[in-house]
Amino acid sequence: MYAHVILPLNLKGTFTYEIPEEFRASVFEGCRVLVAFGGTKIYTGLVFGLSSTLKEDLCPKPIVSVLDKEPLLGTAHIQFYKWLSAYYQFSLGELYRFAFPSSLKLESETIVRPYAGAQIDWKILDSNEVYLMQALSVQSHISLKEIQAFIPKKHLIQTIRSLIELHYIEIDEKIGERYVPKEVVYLEVNSGIKENLAHVLLNLKRAPKQQQLLLHILQLLEETRATRLKKSHVFKNNDFGQSHLKGLVEKGYIQELLVQIDRIETYDKELQQTPELSPQQQNALASITEGLASKMPVLLDGVTGSGKTHIYMELILDALHQDENVLFLVPEIALAKQITQRLEKIVGSVLGFYHSKLTDFEKVEVWKKLRLNEIKVLIGTRQALLLPFPSLKLIIVDEEHDQAYRPREHAVNYNTRDAALMMGHMYNAAVVLGSATPSLESYYLAQKGKIHYVELAVRYGQGALPSYKVHDYKKALEEKTTQGEFSNQTLKEMEHVVEQDNQVLVLHNRRGFANVVECGACGHVTYCSNCDVVMTYHKASNDLKCHYCGNKSAVPVKCPKCSSVQLITKGIGVEQIYEQVNQLFPQVEVRRMDVDAMRSKFAYEALFESLAQKETQILVGTQMISKGLDFDHIELVVVPRADQLLYVQDFRAEERAYQLLTQVGGRAGRVSGKGKVIIQTFNPTNPFFELLQKQKQHAIYQYLLAERRKFHYPPFTKIVFIELRHRREDKVQRASQYLGSLLQQFFHPATILGPEKSPIGRINLLYQYQIMLKFPRGKSYKKHKELLENAIDAFAQVEAYRSIKTKIIVDF
Ligand SMILES: Nc1ncnc2c1ncn2[C@@H]1O[C@H](COP(=O)(O)OP(=O)(O)OP(=O)(O)O)[C@@H](O)[C@H]1O
Ligand SMILES: [Zn+2]
């Protein structure tokens, strides 16, 4: 018997191992096995196939041990992984590496360390476990390779596994990627206080508030029969202040404790009923159900504020009633948190959530709970699609148009929406895509009848959608009626909203203060030392940053080239818009929302609170402000430099601009129905802005589709994008030319664009070249991709180009 195993390495295909007699009955597809590879290294492999004979004349090594009693991945998921890897042309090994938490795929380089604060009970450990724990008491961490020196390979994984289960050791993750566990402050009464209460109270005679607080705490402890109390609980009614507590702590009566709490706290409060759906929502739900009954995926095209989430809730509850499982995909972690808060009240403790920033331990918990069917509804980002669901009956892809579903910079860059459709097919699960601004691809498929289309064109509560006004900014400039980046007309509207005690959003989708710092004398600008990119000036942090590699440098006080002190900034970033708004509205609280401003720990919570309380009246931000904000008093959205959204080298620029402008507009007038969006542009007659002003969604989609058809872009063609990178430019240039010539042998020259230097010629010290392939969609696409794979294989055979990093992005 032989097992075909995938390894957590960027290597194509599976590797064959012999299954020794003792394991014959226990190796299944989807089980993890421990194997040796490349000399002395050991890895946790994943069995992806079994056979009784060998095709070639191989002499495979034996499996070292079997790690799972039951398969970790079911047959459907194995098929799904295989499909993903074949369709998107990344290796199974890479996919496995991306999908599995570190402690489920231990390898030689993996490092273990003692679990902080573990109380070790030596009596329960076997000899191998004792050796390892002893080693760890002298050394703070140790790699698997080192452990192999004193624990036989065969027992290695079992030993580690059982120590992890005991919480004695943990797998070390890269620092920086670590997720900060949530901490809650608790209060505890020190020992001896209760017994000597009379005396203690006497001591507090001069501080009556402290006395009351102590009594309050003792009473709450009594009531809850707990040994400690959440601090927030004690201060719930605002009867006491921090100073009172400080007094008690200083006198040694009370102590504050920081306790780490489980992020995935299971919801144990009472469940709430879902609110009744409006007639329009009911119709939409009926139509979705109808579509799903006919085995079609569904596109729910529901305007902003139409209450799509409430419709999802009904679908989820329905699945739960039938004892079936649901996957709810969201593009970003911030949205996952919002949706979790809304859903846990409805579905309770069977809700789980999963994303890349969980700790390894938390991830493994979710894996476990899914297998045990303790989690039945999982909210997650794109990685959640790869989890081992024992069964799955519904997949919801919320905000299906969102770019975050397709991070092109990642090696495992599947398109989450399309992959979800395929997974639905393999699991025989229903798939619902939802958005207020569907991707052109989904819209097109709906038009062709491949996806069941459901439109929900009104907001919940019948409030009108915002109106769009396009302002001619060129004219305002000519008439000299502008201040900063705003026309007087725009400012008047902003003032009006603020006076009414309502809120304004200002969208400017460019980070930093200015694009460049330029020398006024010689024109010198500072480039990133790693990338062919000008450094962006950030005034708030007073430095220059590269947005591609994260590199930072000090702001020059004089030109490094000619020493002139005449430095000028050019190009406007969101920080500058924020500064202008602050100056123009000195009486008003203005805040900024972009990645740079939202880095601190509770940044989101603090901002949301201040918006809800209407303290913040104007919020300036990047695309971040377009996502999920659901506040009742935002009445106006201003986009000062809208043209910038269109001048991007991307055939999807207009689609993205439409989605962004509609999503951000959708934050306005959600209750009043009187929201307004002001677009300032130099090109008010651009058909795009004219259509946007009319807010005729279908007309916009027809316009966008016509443009795509004319220039042979998706969804009318399929694009495969190839990136080649290397430290040496001459090498990557030659390599890309060679690959280009290989491709010429397979494809018509008209389908090949490039090779050429990428618009950003160097990122992170690597020079970049690119080739774009435009293939026909439909049946021949598969054939084209097979030919492409041949060409890539032939390219990979060339010894001289081994060191070139190639990345293929299928369905670019
Ligand atoms: N049936 C309902 N009963 C009560 N409130 C509802 C109902 N449907 C929607 N709402 C409320 O209307 C608001 C908008 O709903 P929701 O956030 O689900 O909209 P959405 O379609 O997801 O919008 P967006 O795409 O703009 O995020 C929410 O505050 C929600 O609580
Ligand atoms: Zn850089």
Q: Of the ranges 98-112, 344-358, 570-584, 779-793, which one carries the lowest mean pLDDT score?
A: 98-112
- pLDDT, position 229: 87
Write the pLDDT tens digit of every residue in 786-812.
999 999 999 999 999 999 999 999 999
- CATH number for the region 467-510+573-709 comes to 3.40.50.300
Asked if pLDDT for residue 730 goes beyond 70, the answer is: yes
Q: Does the CB atom of residue 302 touch ligand 1 within 6 A? A: yes
Nearest protein Cα to ligand 1, atom 29: 630
Cα–Cα distance measured from residue 504 to residue 631, given in angstroms and rounded to the nearest whole number:
11
Q: Does the CB atom of residue 328 touch ligand 1 within 6 A? A: no
How high does pLDDT run on average in the chain?
90
Q: Does the CB atom of residue 159 touch ligand 1 within 6 A? A: no
- From the centroid of its chain, how far is CA 94? 19
Ligand 1, closest atom to CA 302? 21
Cα–Cα distance measured from residue 413 to residue 748, given in angstroms and rounded to the nearest whole number:
27
Say which ligand is closest to the CA of 335.
Answer: 1
Asked if pLDDT for residue 88 goes beyond 70, the answer is: yes
* Residue ranges per structural domain of the chain: 2-104, 111-171, 182-261, 279-458, 467-510+573-709, 512-571, 717-810
Residue 314, both tokens: 């009904």
Write the pLDDT tens digit of every residue in 558-615.
998 999 999 998 889 999 999 999 999 999 999 999 988 988 767 888 898 899 999 9
Give the mean model confidence (pLDDT) for residues 501-510.
Answer: 97
Say which ligand is closest to the CA of 345.
Answer: 1
For residue 34, give the H/E element and its range: strand 32-37
Q: Does the CB atom of residue 627 touch ligand 1 within 6 A? A: no
Distance 98 CA to ligand 2 centre (A): 25
Ligand 1, closest atom to CA 628? 27
Q: Report yes or no: 648 and 439 within 8 Å, Cβ to Cβ.
A: no
Secondary structure letter of residue 191 according to DSSP: T
Ligand 1, closest atom to CA 342? 31
Residue 773, both tokens: 């392939």
Nearest protein Cα to ligand 1, atom 18: 307
Give the mean model confidence (pLDDT) for residues 374-387.
Answer: 95
Q: Which class for 165: exposed (0-12), middle (13-18), buried (19 or more C-beta within 10 A)? A: exposed
Asked if pLDDT for residue 233 goes beyond 90, the answer is: no
Distance 529 CA to ligand 2 centre (A): 6
- pLDDT, position 39: 66
Give the mean model confidence (pLDDT) for residues 72-85.
Answer: 93
Q: Report yes or no: 580 and 486 within 8 Å, Cβ to Cβ.
A: yes
- CATH number for the region 279-458 comes to 3.40.50.300
Residues belonging to the binding site for Zn(2+) are 519, 522, 528, 531, 546, 549, 559, 562
pLDDT band at 161 (very low <50, low <70, confident <90, very high): confident
Give the mean model confidence (pLDDT) for residues 17-21.
Answer: 92
- Measure Cα distances from 367 to 65, 112, 397 in Å: 22, 20, 20
Give the mean model confidence (pLDDT) for residues 615-619.
Answer: 96
**3-state SS class at 27:** coil
* Contacts for 152 with CB less than 8 Å, ≥ 6 apart: 128
Give the mean model confidence (pLDDT) for residues 497-509.
Answer: 97
CATH architecture of 717-810: 2-Layer Sandwich (3.30)
pLDDT band at 180 (very low <50, low <70, confident <90, very high): very low
Secondary structure letter of residue 403 according to DSSP: G
Write the pLDDT tens digit of every residue in 182-224.
567 889 999 888 888 888 998 898 899 999 999 999 988 888 7
Cα–Cα distance measured from residue 627 to residue 646, given in angstroms and rounded to the nearest whole number:
20
Secondary structure letter of residue 67 according to DSSP: -
Q: Does the CB atom of residue 460 touch ligand 1 within 6 A? A: yes
Q: Report yes or no: 56 and 68 within 8 Å, Cβ to Cβ.
A: no
Cα–Cα distance measured from residue 795 to residue 590, given in angstroms and rounded to the nearest whole number:
55
Give the mean model confidence (pLDDT) for residues 241-269.
Answer: 78
Pocket test for ligand 1, best of 330, 343, 630, 634 (most atoms within 8 A of CB): 630
Closest CA to 494 of 694, 640, 610, 672: 640
- pLDDT, position 177: 31
pLDDT band at 261 (very low <50, low <70, confident <90, very high): low
Asked if pLDDT for residue 176 goes beyond 50, the answer is: no
What are 593's strand-pairing partners? 621
User: CB-side exposure of 733: number of CA atoms within 13 Å?
Assistant: 6
DSSP characters over 211-234: HHHHHHHHHHHHHHT-S-EEHHHH
pLDDT band at 175 (very low <50, low <70, confident <90, very high): very low
Asked if pLDDT for residue 181 goes beyond 60, the answer is: no
Distance 795 CA to ligand 2 centre (A): 29
Cα–Cα distance measured from residue 172 to residue 230, given in angstroms and rounded to the nearest whole number:
31
Residue 499, both tokens: 């006076």
Write the pLDDT tens digit of every residue in 308-319.
999 999 999 999
Q: Which class for 493: exposed (0-12), middle (13-18), buried (19 or more C-beta within 10 A)? A: buried
Phi-psi region of 70 (alpha: psi -120 to 50; beta: other; left: phi over 0): beta
pLDDT band at 649 (very low <50, low <70, confident <90, very high): confident
Cα–Cα distance measured from residue 112 to residue 620, given in angstroms and rounded to the nearest whole number:
45
- pLDDT, position 146: 86
Q: Does the CB atom of residue 380 touch ligand 1 within 6 A? A: no
User: Helix axis angle, 416-427 relative to 75-88, nearest 10°?
Assistant: 140
pLDDT band at 179 (very low <50, low <70, confident <90, very high): very low
Asked if pLDDT for residue 511 goes beyond 50, the answer is: yes
**3-state SS class at 3:** strand
Q: Report yes or no: 37 and 15 within 8 Å, Cβ to Cβ.
A: yes
Distance 615 CA to ligand 2 centre (A): 37
Ligand 1, closest atom to CA 435? 25
Q: What percent of the chain has pLDDT over 70?
A: 97
Nearest protein Cα to ligand 1, atom 27: 628
Asked if pLDDT for residue 658 goes beyond 90, the answer is: yes
Nearest protein Cα to ligand 1, atom 7: 307
Cα–Cα distance measured from residue 502 to residue 325, given in angstroms and rounded to the nearest whole number:
42
Do 2-104 and 279-458 fold alike per CATH? no
- From the centroid of its chain, how far is CA 434? 17
Residues belonging to the binding site are 519, 522, 528, 531, 546, 549, 559, 562
399 vs 262, higher pLDDT: 399
Cα–Cα distance measured from residue 318 to residue 400, given in angstroms and rounded to the nearest whole number:
22
- CATH number for the region 2-104 comes to 3.40.1440.60
Ligand 1, closest atom to CA 456? 21
Cα–Cα distance measured from residue 431 to residue 425, given in angstroms and rounded to the nearest whole number:
9
For residue 36, give the H/E element and its range: strand 32-37
Length of the chain: 812
Write the pLDDT tens digit of every residue in 389-403.
988 999 999 999 999
Give the mean model confidence (pLDDT) for residues 253-280.
Answer: 78
Q: Does the CB atom of residue 275 touch ligand 1 within 6 A? A: yes
Closest CA to 543 of 579, 580, 517: 517
Asked if pLDDT for residue 57 goes beyond 80, the answer is: no
Give the mean model confidence (pLDDT) for residues 76-91.
Answer: 94
Q: Of the ranges 125-139, 159-173, 410-424, which one carries the lowest mean pLDDT score?
A: 159-173
Write the pLDDT tens digit of every residue in 668-724.
999 999 999 999 999 999 999 999 999 889 999 999 999 999 999 999 999 999 999
Give the mean model confidence (pLDDT) for residues 752-780.
Answer: 93
- pLDDT, position 614: 93
- pLDDT, position 506: 98
Nearest protein Cα to ligand 1, atom 11: 307
Asked if pLDDT for residue 262 goes beyond 90, the answer is: no
Asked if pLDDT for residue 268 goes beyond 80, the answer is: no
User: Helix axis angle, 697-710 relative to 687-694, nearest 10°?
Assistant: 160
Closest CA to 361 of 138, 166, 122, 128: 166
Ligand 1, closest atom to CA 436? 25
Asked if pLDDT for residue 529 goes beyond 50, the answer is: yes
Asked if pLDDT for residue 764 goes beyond 80, the answer is: yes
- pLDDT, position 178: 35
721 vs 228, higher pLDDT: 721
